[in-house]
Chains A and B, each alone.
Chain A
Amino acid sequence: MNSKKMGMRMKRIFVNAEACTGCGLCQLLCSVHKTGQWHPALARIKIKEMPELELNVPVLCLHCSNPPCEVYCVMNLIYKDPNTGYTLRREDKCIGCRACEIACPFSAAVMDPIREVVVNCDLCEGDPLCVSGCPEGALLYMEDSEAGERKRKAAVSLGAWRASRPRDGRGSL
């Protein structure tokens, strides 16, 4: 099946930055799972502290439909998995030029300083540790449609829907 069609049903990690406290547990769990060592610098998820917005935002690979890293990889190592639609790479062949890191609008591809190759979040074969380890529920692993559904639900419960309707309540859109 075409990967782009799959995209609608694939599970991804969604970020609820409002809930993130910046405790950094996701980074430590990611680094130890992927490298056997504890260090935020080795993690494929990075928390950006934004004091001016009073926010901590976890940044990680979003598995775009048209990933610029795929285009920019001179070694042609980055590909979309035909079954899952994830953006994956053959890390063993990576020359570490970091073109993909620069091409990514989020810089979500990161250098692994131990092996000196660039890596991105591969969603841990369907069981991302950062998600299960987040104490605040700031990371959600779900299908796009479910994430959309949640967001719509949250918006409706906030009264956004009611506000968009005319005052008499009959609704004559």
Chain B
Amino acid sequence: MKDYSGKIMEIDLSHGSIRIKDIEAQLVRQYIGGIGFNARILYDEIPIGADPFGEENVLVFAAGTLVGTPFPTASRSEASAKSPLTGGFGTSNSGAFFGLQLKTAGYDVLVIKGKSPQPVYISINDEDVKILSADSLWGKECWECVDYLEKKHYGSEIALIGPAGENLVRFASIENGRYDGWGRTGLGAVMGSKNLKAITVKGTKGRKAHDPQALLNAVKKGQQLIKSASSYHAFTEYGTLNASIPYSNFKAISAHNFTKGTLPNWKEIGGRPIVDRYGSRHVACQSCIIACGHWVELSEGKYAGIKMKDLEITPVMSFGATVGLNTEAIIKACELCQRYGVDMVSAGGVLGFAIELYKQGIISEDDVGFELDFGDDEAAFKLFHMIINREGIGDILAEGSKRAAEQFEQGDKYAIQVKGMEIPMIDPRGRWSTWTLGMLTNIRGGDHLRCRNPVENLRFNERDEEYRKERFGFKQTMYEKLDMPEELKRKTIDLENDITYIPEMSKWAEDLINLYNSVGICIRPPVMEKVGPTIIAEACQAFTGIEFTPAELMESAERTWNLIKLFNLREGEKAEASKFPRRFYEEELNGQVLDEGKIQKVLEIYYQLRGWDPKTGRPERATLKRLQLEQPGE
């Protein structure tokens, strides 16, 4: 292994000990990197039933295999721990420059164990690793800490938590510098429970490729592929916001806590025009040729003076649709989330949940201290601060909507979550697709980022009564260029009848995204549309010198997915948990409710495709054997 940085750094905060281990060749072969390493480490290290806030929880950061090369979008790193929000495998992916610094400091994986008796932060400078006191930083918001740490550790990248993580808000995030973060599943609270405020990393070691010329060729090919994607130009201009209007037209956005499907004037609040109006220059993560981020500056109005990287669809939907705020308030909400270290999706979900409880009369002004309404930004931000500081009703809401719902009569009806995690953006009653089935099958709960159809067509929204298929809708060339084994492609997409089969595509998409998260590339649509296992195998091979075939890579991604499923089952996940909130089956939206029985049938097809038991969703022994995941003693 010529250039696998090839080191795991293990820091035990309980004892203040630091250990550096080599990565075994077997681990690289089987799990590639990134989320794969995380899955194996968490499965091996966390005892069953461990308290997410306890000493035995383990927090792992791993940079993807290709991070540090110019391969397009290779910037991403994965953070994982047992989630305080879902109780299962908690994991989140972030771009920017942290992964690059971690890799060039000489480490693929950073494992944090134990619990420090007092607030500390970790500073990594190649081999020089220190655990330093964070007394002066504790309680401060993120941007202030970044300013301080950037001065003190010049040139370092910083992962840190804000007051939300310190106060163990169950959906706190770990922030990645000022503007990015590992948002979902409450990893910030895990970091807070370990009394760890921040990690600064600076690396000075260059990385050598096994075959530099071959790698450059793969990079060039990768860039050309992405540039040829149908969504490339739209993405370089408007980023993720491209999807905002189509979903609103389908009446499938999370408006007012999933009661409306769309909002009047949504185009002006949360569509592409807001990029023209508020955005300025584009910002990229390391090695990215898409640059979907924008600098935003608010020069006038109530929130004048905000300057940040923003205008992504997820926060826009979360605060614009779910909570009903206007664009300037959305930008303010993003700023608050980043300063205080909160997951934007869950924050919006919990605020929307609270507002609806208020509107339904389940909680009153006496409980909250002030009035709540959709679209009232001042009240929403007041409540936001109460959640961060766990004051009054905020203390209940900080537990996440599922736990909070247990405190209120009929609460579960208004808590829009799957397995404890708040659902983002889209309403499956408005549009049923691979994406929405993915919210049920996702290994981290109600989330949209681990299963996306690489060839999703946003021009059509035809509902299949059996929930089994969606319209393909592209020309034959798109089908031909999709990098997928031929036989599987024929089973997944029926070109003649213009159909994509949802369960088949879900499995492929989940494994593909898992592969992306292993090698550290991004899941933006232009990448997903064109970059498949073939080109990734070429790049990985050129970089590491290990021979990977595309099929092996996909198998290892599947292995990781199965291992995470085993982790969740071990923690007591039930098959019944793969279910949408009650509202989606009971309350009509656009005259539609979801049919629980039919969705269950589709799930069963999906389980069978995965080689899992169709009733319990547990991987069959033969599947585990095929993936070399058998438990010792079985």
Contacts and interface: CB of A to CB of B under 8 A. Distances in A.
A35 B206 contact: yes
A54 interface: yes
Interface in A15-73: 18, 21-25, 28-29, 31-32, 35-42, 51-52, 54-56
Given A38-B209, A39-B68, A23 B281 contact: no
Interface residues of A, number: 28
A35 B208 CA distance: 9
B499 to A, nearest CB: 36
A143 to B, nearest CB: 27
Nearest to A32: B212
A113 interface: yes
Contacts of A18: 281
A21 B203 CA distance: 22
Contacts of A36: 206, 208, 212
A81 interface: no
Nearest to A54: B295
A105 interface: no
A135 interface: yes
A25 to B, nearest CB: 5
Contacts of B94: none
Contacts of A52: 307
B406 to A, nearest CB: 42
Contacts of B285: 23
Nearest to A52: B307
A148 B252 CA distance: 51
Contact of B287 (A28, A35, A51, A114): A28
A149 interface: no
B104 A39 contact: yes
B27 to A, nearest CB: 22
Contacts of B297: 54
Nearest to A40: B100
Given A51-B307, A135-B289, A37 B208 contact: yes
A24 B287 contact: yes
A37 B68 CA distance: 10
For A31, A37, A113, A135, the residue with the greatest tally of chain B CB atoms inside 10 Å of its CB is A135
A136 interface: yes
Interface of A: 18, 21-25, 28-29, 31-32, 35-42, 51-52, 54-56, 113-114, 133, 135-136
16 contacts: A21-B291, A22-B283, A22-B284, A23-B287, A23-B288, A24-B97, A24-B286, A25-B70, A25-B289, A36-B208, A38-B68, A38-B207, A38-B209, A56-B281, A114-B206, A136-B282
